[in-house]
Amino acid sequence: MRIAIGIEYDGRAYRGWQSQPGGNTVQDVLERALSRMAGEPIRVHAAGRTDTGVHATMQVAHFDTQADRPITAWVRGVNTFLPAEIAICWAREVDDTFHARFSATARHYRYLLLNHPVRSALLAGKVGWHHAPLDMARMQAAARLLIGEHDFSSFRSSECQAKSPVKTLTRCDIAHAQGLYTIDLSAGGFLHHMVRNLMGTLIHIGKGAAEPAWMGELLAARDRTMAPPTFMPDGLYFAGVSYPDRFAIASEPSFRHYLV
């Protein structure tokens, strides 16, 4: 039996999603809880990896099991074995052709950025922060240059293992309300640190340190050393995955209302 699950998590206490020799990852904790419920070792496969400190409102994963359990056991039952900062939101049986990573047609991220002279204590770790005023129109103009297929080498981590730096960004929307910016991005796939590197550049442009057209120059340069530093992970959320309709898995990005 193959089961697909939707997961949300607060990534502050973990070294990212993917299992590592040193442990303490979201995948490690989730697999232990699922294995307890199944009574057998469980290995999960996720739609995308998130880095240390990055959160998810709708990560999608799947696993195979011989265990015969009611579908609710994979949600409420497994959640009793999980720490408070990780929760399975839904589970459903899927056929063997479904793969959380390889069946995905798009991945969605949201970055929350607090633009205020003083940092927030209550939102610490849940939003990025920039103290100086930002010009949203400048940021939006720069964001429009990112739409389409580009070589994103200037925004790629040196540790990135992707076969190609060429990605197609279909969405980069910026909105603002009461000091909080929301930046929504969608693409078939993302490079390591790509969103956080783009954020660093958008903020650089938003504060007036460069013109919006500079974003296009950075894309053309294909040189990571020319772009601003990687921005903080605090406000980054993996917000959903799109799949073909035949899998009957909701493809709209998910974002809990209490986080916006």
Instruction: Answer with the one of 35, 69, 103 that is the final residue of a domain.
Output: 103
- How much is the pLDDT for 254? 54
Q: Does residue 256 register a pLDDT over 60? A: no
Range of lowest pLDDT (17-26, 32-41, 59-68): 17-26
Is position 244 within any domain?
no
Considering only residues 159 and 155, tell me which one the structure prediction assigns the higher pLDDT.
155
Per the structure block, which two tokens stand in for 155?
């925004």
Q: What is the pTM of this model?
A: 0.94
Among 10, 28, 51, 245, which one carries the catalytic annotation?
51
For residues 117 and 135, membership in a common domain is answered with yes
For residues 74 and 161, membership in a common domain is answered with no
Give the closest residue to 9 by CA, choosing from 33, 23, 29, 36. Answer: 29
Is position 257 within any domain?
no
Q: Does residue 260 register a pLDDT over 50? A: no
Q: Does residue 160 register a pLDDT over 80? A: yes
Q: What is the band of 252 on the pLDDT scale with cuts at 50, 70, 90? A: low
- How much is the pLDDT for 194? 97
DSSP state, 245? Answer: G
For residues 81 and 26, membership in a common domain is answered with yes
For residues 34 and 153, membership in a common domain is answered with no
For residues 118 and 157, membership in a common domain is answered with yes
- How much is the pLDDT for 175? 96
* Residue 240 to residue 260: CA distance in whole angstroms: 15
Could you read off the pLDDT of 65-75 as tens digits, one per residue?
999 999 999 99
Could you read off the pLDDT of 172-192 as tens digits, one per residue?
999 999 999 999 999 999 999
- How much is the pLDDT for 72? 96
Give the closest residue to 232 by CA, choosing from 135, 112, 91. Answer: 112
Residue with the two structure tokens 């990055």: 54
Is position 247 within any domain?
no
Is position 173 within any domain?
yes
The whole-number average pLDDT for the span 27-49 is 97
Mean pLDDT over all residues of the chain?
94
Q: Does residue 60 register a pLDDT over 80? A: yes
For residues 94 and 146, membership in a common domain is answered with no
What value, to the nearest 5°, has the Cα angle with vertex 135 and ends 132 and 139?
A: 115
* Residue 258 to residue 130: CA distance in whole angstroms: 21
Contacts of 101 (CB under 8 A, 6+ apart): 45, 46, 47, 48
Contacts of 178 (CB under 8 A, 6+ apart): none
Q: Does residue 220 register a pLDDT over 90? A: yes
Active site residue 96: no
How many structural domains are present in the chain?
A: 2
For residues 123 and 233, membership in a common domain is answered with yes
Instruction: Answer with the one of 103, 123, 147 that is the final residue of a domain.
Output: 103
CATH number at residue 194: 3.30.70.660
What is the identity of the amino acid at 99?
H
Give the closest residue to 185 by CA, choosing from 82, 77, 113. Answer: 113
For residues 66 and 129, membership in a common domain is answered with no
Q: Does residue 17 register a pLDDT over 80? A: yes
What is the identity of the amino acid at 8?
E
Range of lowest pLDDT (94-98, 156-160, 224-228): 156-160
Q: Does residue 159 register a pLDDT over 90? A: no
The whole-number average pLDDT for the span 52-67 is 96
Could you read off the pLDDT of 120-141 as tens digits, one per residue?
999 999 999 999 999 999 999 9
* Residue 72 to residue 169: CA distance in whole angstroms: 36
Is position 154 within any domain?
yes
Give the closest residue to 90 by CA, choosing from 26, 33, 30, 5. Answer: 5
Q: What range does the domain containing 216 cover?
A: 106-238
Q: Does residue 19 register a pLDDT over 70? A: yes
For residues 95 and 130, membership in a common domain is answered with no
CATH number at residue 13: 3.30.70.580
Is position 217 within any domain?
yes
- How much is the pLDDT for 253? 55
For residues 145 and 172, membership in a common domain is answered with yes
Residue with the two structure tokens 């939006």: 140
